[in-house]
Structure 1
C-alpha cells in the first residue's frame, strides 16, 4: 500500500455545502490540493466564486460554484442535475452548511426562542441534509459508489456548559444541539440502509474554532479542553481529507470526533 495514494482525490467530484463559511473554505482548499474537483455550493455564490477563482490559480483542478438554497428542494435537485451535466458523477457529498443564528438569537435563551427561528434551523440543518442525501444518494446508488460526510458537532454529543458563555454571544442555541444530534443518527440510518450499494456515510463532529471571539470566552473554553486551546481554522482539514479519501475505506456509520478532548472528560 502506498500511503500517499490512499489520500489522493484526483478527479473526485466533491460537493461542499456551506462552502463560503470559514471551515467550508478551508475544506475546499485542502481537498483541491489533494486533486479533487470541488463543487462550492452556497447561498452566497459571490463568495464561492472568489474561492473558485483562487483554487483555479493554485491547483490544477476544475472547481465549480453553485448557488444553493437548502430550504428549497428544487434548488437541491437543480444542483444535482447541474453537476451531473458537467462531471457525469458525484463521488463525495459534504453536508457542511448550518444555521446557528446571530449572537442576539443565541443569547435570547430557550424560553424566548421564536418558533420561526427553530423552524429555520430545522429546515437548513436537518431537512436540507436529508434532501441532499436523498437527491445525491440516488445518483450514488446508480454509480454503485459514493461517500457522504455529515457535519455534526460536539454539541450533538453533549450539552453546552452555559457557564462559559457569559455575555460573549457565543452561546449554543437549543436548535443547534438538537439538529446536530439528529444528524449523527441520520448518518447511522443511511449507512445501514444503503448497505450493499457501495455507499459510505459518516459523521464528523468538530469542536470549537478560535475566530476572534470574546477573550474571556476563549479562556474559559480552553480551560475545559484537555489540549488547553480552541482549534485553529485549518486543523480539521486533515480529518476531512481522511473521511473523503480511501484512507477511510472501511469506515461507515461512524462519528469522527475531533475536539481537543472536550468530550473526553
Structure 2
C-alpha cells in the first residue's frame, strides 16, 4: 500500500526551493525517494540545501540558480535537466514574492491607493508569470514523459477569501496610514487557481494532472498580538507548523492522487469554512 506514496527516482522541480515552505516541499520529495531539483535565486543556498538533502536522505538533489521571470533562463535550465534526466515527473510552482505589511505605517505603501506599480509588476512577475513560464516549459517536458506526471501550484487561503485587514491594524494610526495586506498577494494566489484549472484540462491526453493547495498561514515568529487575532479566526485555534503541509504535498505528487485533477484543496485549519 505504501508504494503508492513513493516518489522513488521521480525528478521533481521545485521553485522557490530554499524558502520557508519550499525547503519543506524539497524535504518531503527527498524523504519519499524522489530527486528534488531546487530552483531559486541564490546558488549558494541551493547548493547548501542540496547537500543537506543528499546527506540526510541519500538522494541526488541538485540546485540551480534560475530567475523564473526570465524565460531564457528557464529554457536553458530545461535543456540541462533534459540532458541529465531525459524526463521530469512533476513541477511544484512555489516561488512567490511575499509582500510585507511591515513599514507600511510609515509610508502606507501597502494601501491600494498608494501601492507602487513597480511592486505590482514584480509580485505578479514572480508569482503568476513565473508560474506560467514554468508550466509552459517544465510542464511541456512533463507532457513528453510517457507516464505523464503532475503540476502542483501553491496558492493560499487568501486565494479563496479576501484578507481580513483588521488583522493588520495599528492602534492610534489614522485610517490613511493603516497597514493592509497588499493587493498583489490576493491577485497572485487567485490567479494560480485559474492557472490550475486551465492546466488540468490542457494535457489530460498526456496524463498530466494539475492541482493546487491553499495553505493557511505558517507560524514564524509573528507578533503575539497578531497571532492572537489570526488564531481566533481559525477553527483549529492555531497557525500551521512549517512541516505540516508535507503529507498533502506528498499525496498530490504521488500515484496515490492519480485520479485527482483540477482540485483546489484548502489546508487552512478551517479558516475558509467560517
Fold shared per TM-score above 0.5: yes
From 85, 88, 91, the counterpart of 2:86:
88
Deviations 1:216-237, CA, capped at 9 Å, x for gaps: 0011000000000000000011
Name the TM-score, length of structure 2 as normaliser. Answer: 0.92
SS across alignment from 1:94: strand
**Counterpart of 1:141?**
143
1:38 correspondence with 2:41 = no
Deviations 1:198-257, CA, capped at 9 Å, x for gaps: 100011110000000111001100000000000000001111001110111100111111
SS across alignment from 2:44: helix
Provide structure 2 residue ranges, at least 5 long, that are not aligned to the other structure.
Answer: 172-177
**Counterpart of 2:188?**
179
1:100–1:173 CA contact under 8 A, matched in 2? no
C-alpha change, 1:167 and 1:84, in structure 2 (3 Å) is farther
1:9–1:245 CA contact under 8 A, matched in 2? yes
Name whichever of 151-160 and 82-91 sits farther off: 82-91
C-alpha change, 1:59 and 1:171, in structure 2 (3 Å) is farther
2:6–2:254 CA contact under 8 A, matched in 1? yes
The CA distance in 2 between the partners of 1:111 and 1:175, in whole Å, is: 13
Provide structure 1 residue ranges, at least 5 long, that are not aligned to the other structure.
Answer: none
From 123, 146, 160, the counterpart of 2:125:
123
Map of 1:38-77 to 2, 5 A cutoff? 38-77=36-75
2:10–2:34 CA contact under 8 A, matched in 1? yes
The CA distance in 2 between the partners of 1:45 and 1:263, in whole Å, is: 37
Deviations 1:53-108, CA, capped at 9 Å, x for gaps: 11111112101000010111011111211111111111010000001224336863
The CA distance in 1 between the partners of 2:170 and 2:68, in whole Å, is: 31
**Counterpart of 2:201?**
192
1:107–1:171 CA contact under 8 A, matched in 2? no
From 200, 211, 214, the counterpart of 1:202:
211
SS across alignment from 2:60: coil
**Counterpart of 1:114?**
116
**Counterpart of 2:166?**
163
**Counterpart of 2:175?**
none
1:110–1:173 CA contact under 8 A, matched in 2? yes
1:52–1:64 CA contact under 8 A, matched in 2? yes
SS across alignment from 1:124: helix
1:151–1:203 CA contact under 8 A, matched in 2? yes
Q: CA shift at 1:42, angstroms?
A: 0.3
The CA distance in 1 between the partners of 2:204 and 2:119, in whole Å, is: 36
The CA distance in 2 between the partners of 1:10 and 1:108, in whole Å, is: 44
Structure index of larger Rg? 2
The CA distance in 2 between the partners of 1:132 and 1:170, in whole Å, is: 33
RMSD of aligned Cα (Å): 1.6
Equivalenced residues, count: 263
2:91–2:139 CA contact under 8 A, matched in 1? no
The CA distance in 2 between the partners of 1:130 and 1:51, in whole Å, is: 25
